[in-house]
Every structure is written in structure tokens, then in C-alpha cells.
Amino acid sequence: MTRGRVDEMDLSSVTWRKARKTTENGGNCVEIASVSGTIAIRDSKNPDGPRLTINHNDFRRLIKTIKNA
């Protein structure tokens, strides 16, 4: 799995998205943004907190694994 360094990425102008079903959970969920060939992931309750990055292929595998769990 390829990991990026978020502190080297400018995330100030990215558009963060979260699943439509998050309203069922009070709107708190993870948010994702596509940035320079990677996916950035953050906690919607703490938008200024730590972020993870993962490449697109690994992100697709992660989602597939979660759906099949």
C-alpha cells in the first residue's frame, strides 16, 4: 500500500465528500477528496485533524474489502 505525506499536500482548496447515508449517523462520517492521484481521508467531526492518503487502486481495494466484510 502506498502512503503519502499529507503535510506536503495543499488540501485547502479540495472538495471533500461524504456518503449520502451519513445523515442516518448524525452527519458524522469520514470524508474523502481526490488530490493529485491519491485519495485523502479525514474525520468529518475533526476536519482540521490528521488525514490519511491512499492511492486510487488501494482505495478501491479498501472499499471492496469493507463491502465484503
pTM of this structure: 0.74
Give CA–CA dist 5/54, Å, rounded. Answer: 10
pLDDT tens by residue, 8-62: 677 888 999 987 776 666 667 889 999 888 999 999 889 888 889 999 999 999 9
Predicted local confidence at residue 33, as pLDDT: 95
Would you say residue 56 lies in a domain?
yes
Query: In Å, how far are 7, 23, 27, 47 from 54, measured between CA atoms?
Result: 14, 25, 23, 18
Three-state DSSP state, 51:
coil
Would you say residue 1 lies in a domain?
no
Predicted local confidence at residue 39, as pLDDT: 94
What's the one-letter identity of residue 6? V
Predicted local confidence at residue 13, as pLDDT: 85
Work out the number of other CB atoms within 10 angstroms of the CB of residue 36: 10
Predicted local confidence at residue 19, as pLDDT: 78
Q: For residue 58, what are the domain limits?
A: 6-68
Q: How many domains does the chain have?
A: 1
Predicted local confidence at residue 3, as pLDDT: 56
